[in-house]
Chains A and B, each alone.
Chain A
Amino acid sequence: MTIERTKPAFAKASAGKPEDPIAAHWSSATPDQVDAARTRVLNRLQFPVEADRSSTDSPPATAVWRWHRAAWVAAAVLVFAAAVFTGRLEPLSQDSELVRSGAQSREITLADGSRVEMRPDSELSLERADDGIGINLRSGSIIVNAAKQHVGTCTSGPGT
């Protein structure tokens, strides 16, 4: 028997009982957030996103994880130098330009379709180097979704 759970009973103030302050300030994800996260993480893990996932018995489309992972890493590796060579970073192409996300998250899209997602309270600068471009993460955290490239190299190092 499957019990369909609703919002915790603790979140509801019953008659004569004060509302539980922990439940009142508890952070719960919405179904939309769960779905959006599923799609984004699937894309990053390079799963095949199936339109119909009602059947868990259906075979995975072309899921060879190791190959996909290698392709994903290779794509990430290629984007930065290619962006430098073509000079298409927009509008953040100036050396040492500071980018801050502020209290909200922020997404920077490069001309080739690569995206840099900045978490709230993050700060980075783009800097040119001999062998490509560097993203100097000064605070916070970022996720780089690299578009597929044909040439280029990319390295990552420890942040400050």
Chain B
Amino acid sequence: MPSAVAPLPEQAVDKAFERLFREHHAFVYRTAYSVTGTRHDAEDVLQTIFLRLLRRGLPGDVRENPKAYLHRAAINVSLNIVRARKRQHPIDDVEALRAVAPVAEGNQADEMRARLIRAMGELRPRVVEMLVLRYEHDCSDAEIARMLGTSRGVVAVTLFRARARLKKALRAPAGVQS
């Protein structure tokens, strides 16, 4: 749906952009971190989103509801990164790699975190949005529903199913993908 918000003059865009970054960078970064699980990727997401806004200008829905817009953008970009990891091939020379930086083995907590992130990468963006709002930003069903423009019932059911799926992925034996 096209926005009815009138475009801002360039100088006003600069100020609006700066304010947008200062007010929402932590929210975007935390969202990205919880989906990607690494500070590098979260930082990349933060930079990507604001660079795009810088290049394209501030669309109307950013000015109307910046938090919802930025959250959706952070989830989408983060999921792209998580899904792209599956397409990356590991380096062949494992011994040389270990010589550069020894890999800690047997870290079960890290393995579970990685498993959770992989499982989230297989969910729909809308579902991940709800999960992040719940677990990272501690929003209630009503707050999530308001932010995403849906009903509390939909949020409750979606979260229930998503949690069941994630728990199943966490319980799966090592090496088994959900």
Contact = CB atoms under 8 A, between A and B. Distances in A.
Given A34-B29, A139-B91, A100 B97 contact: yes
Interface string B143-163: 000000000000000000001
Contacts, number: 142
Contact of A34 (B21, B23, B30, B54): B30
Contacts of B22: 53, 56
Given A105-B40, A121-B91, A38 B25 contact: yes
Contacts of A119: 38, 40-41
A101 B101 contact: yes
Given A22-B167, A33-B33, A44-B47, A60 B14 contact: yes
State the majority secondary structure of interface residues on B: helix
A102 interface: yes
B138 A8 contact: yes
B166 interface: yes
Contact of B116 (A22, A40, A47): A22
Contacts of B137: 5, 8
| Chain B interface size, under 10 / 10 to 19 / 20 to 34 / 35 or more | 35 or more
A63 interface: yes
Given A25-B116, A41-B46, A45-B50, A60 B167 contact: no
A86 B21 CA distance: 38
Interface of B: 14-15, 17-19, 21-23, 25-26, 29-30, 33-34, 36-44, 46-47, 50-51, 54, 88-91, 93, 96-98, 100-104, 109, 112-113, 115-117, 131, 134-138, 163, 166-167, 170
